[in-house]
Structure 1
Amino acid sequence: MDSAQRVSHHRRMTITVSKPGVGELLRDWRRRRRLSQLELSIRADISTRHLSFLETGRSVPSREMVLQLADHLDLMLRDRNRLLLAAGYAPVYPESTLEAPELAAVRSAVRQVLRGHEPYPAVVIDRSWNLVDANQSLAVLTDLVDPSLLAPPANVLRASLHPDGLAPHIVNLGEWRAHLLHRLRRQAEFSGDPALAELEDELRGYPCRDPRPEHELPPASDIVVALRVRRPEGVLNLFTTVATFGTPLDVTVSELSIESFYPADEETARMLRGSRELVGIGR
């Protein structure tokens, strides 16, 4: 086979992978939300026939219709932009870097929350559970983690459950692991993000010395799932809250969350108040 024939052969072997159209994406999101065409059409105040035509590609949705359906499907801003692009429209939600000048007020608010939470740990994470920022008190947890797991982009779930991470120091590893995996699975199902599903598979492959059924009922005395971490000075007994921005219009801001740790008992509060001495913060 001469060079011209080889080129012709390679051209014939080229496979074109097309991106899904807006109708296919709408159908996928509707099914992911476990909605029938009737249920979504009622919510969006359109006919079932019209929705069917949109999903099959027989009709092209207007820009306003795309946004209307995306709203009733409760899509993240990133996925709303993706729907608009698939329909042939420009994205309407900007995606800035956190260092961008227009996000100065957001950065200031985040730093204020982190500083105000001292001496208790707090961390800012993105959509993929990567560490974005943290206050100094997080060191009471991270100083137990192998530094290689904290190299950017550090994934807080990986650092928590990896055998070289926090896992060997977690007293209730089975319970805490089940809690984190449940959160991750729900997020992966809701977002449809394959990277989150891959992360879940990776984390489930980590060894766990204290396996626990994920649907076991908690003891009646427990109010929240606590993270119990053994340090040389004693056991930290912590619970967490998660905060997000209320009305974001930027993709980056919409995917940020702040997880704050609180002491679940007075002994933990006392240890955290002395955390600067425990881990040498501020020295």
Structure 2
Amino acid sequence: MTQVGELLREARHRRRLSQLELSHQLGISARHLGFVEVGRSRPGRALLVRWLAHLEVPLAVRNQALTAAGYAPLYDDAPLDGVHLREATAALGALLASHDPLPALLLDADWNVVAGNSGLTRLLGFLGVSAPVPDLRDGAPSTPPLPMVDLLLEHGLAATIANLEEVAPPLLAQVRAEAVGVPGLEPLLAVLEEVAGTGGAIDVPAAPTLVTRYRAPGGELAFFSMFTTFGAPLHITLASLRVELLFPADAATRERLALSAG
């Protein structure tokens, strides 16, 4: 039971809750909570499920905790091309396509590119980046996911980012927050730590959102992002996915994209 206790303790620390605060919120004694965290007691299944949900533990990690405690896992982890996910996969494909000619990409919990639209492929080509971007065909990704680290380094996308030292620190903070319980993020975390550590703090004007600027023929292209996720997903695969929609951050970028799409 130590593994479950350690997981619950780490999750509580991330939420910045004391044992007393959390015990009150869960309606249990602080003594019982403490015994569970050190592995001296096992919570009932219903309590463990409620405990994990209250701390917003990722669904995959909730399954791991339930299994470690001797209970059956609760959440399905079938792949994206599974029969039960056909409608969800179709919705993802429609969202990616509807954003064209602007770039859009589907990311998983490890920040792998599961799929992209024509706008993303067109943008990468415009930047001189040759990468095998998967797309959604017949309810499934056409090729294996493309790791973000490979896209940045092996395929050269990072070299095209004009303000990499500016965007790396906030991205690093985001990845660090997501990396707890997600070992697949370690390579990306290492890359961002190296980049963010070289430039130090950068004094830039406050902006409504983070803008990434890419070096391209004829001048820079600037984008900001919006993310879309499933509402209250109860499936591990769906919970791990998000769609990143890129939008022009200035009129020049918007005009150049319209010309290249035509």
TM-score, length-scaled by structure 2: 0.86
Q: 1:58 to 1:203 in 2, by over 3 A?
A: closer
The answer to whether the aligner puts 1:62 opposite 2:44 as a matched pair is yes
- Larger-gyration structure (1/2): 1
- Across the two proteins, how many residue pairs are aligned to each other? 252
Question: What are the ranges of 5 or more consecutive residues in structure 2 without an aligned counterpart?
Answer: 135-142
**Code of the aligned partner of 1:89:** Y
Percent of residue pairs bearing the same amino acid type: 39
Question: What are the ranges of 5 or more consecutive residues in structure 1 without an aligned counterpart?
Answer: 1-18, 278-283
Residue of 168, 176, 182 corresponding to 1:193: 182
Which is worse superposed, 130-139 or 170-179?
170-179
Other-structure match for 1:212: 199
Counterpart of 2:146 in 1: which secondary structure? coil
Q: 1:237 to 1:202 in 2, by over 3 A?
A: closer
In the TM superposition, residue 146 of structure 1 has moved relative to its aligned partner by 4.5
Q: 1:39 to 1:105 in 2, by over 3 A?
A: same
- Within-5 A mapping of 1:1-283: 20-143=2-125, 144-147=128-131, 152-160=144-152, 162=153, 164-188=155-179, 191-205=180-194, 211-214=198-201, 216-220=202-206, 222-277=207-262
Q: Deviations over 1:107-136 (max 9, x none)?
A: 111011111111110000100011111110
Q: 1:180 to 1:23 in 2, by over 3 A?
A: closer
Counterpart of 2:215 in 1: which secondary structure? strand
Other-structure match for 1:6: none
Write the distance in 1 (CA, Å) between the matches of 2:176 and 2:10. Answer: 18
Counterpart of 1:21 in 2: which secondary structure? helix
**Code of the aligned partner of 1:192:** G
In the TM superposition, residue 238 of structure 1 has moved relative to its aligned partner by 0.7
Contact 1:20–1:86 (Cα < 8 Å) also in 2: no
TM-score, length-scaled by structure 1: 0.80
Segments of 4+ in structure 1 off by > 4 A? 148-152
**Code of the aligned partner of 2:247:** Y
Instruction: Please provide the CA RMSD for this pair.
Output: 2.5
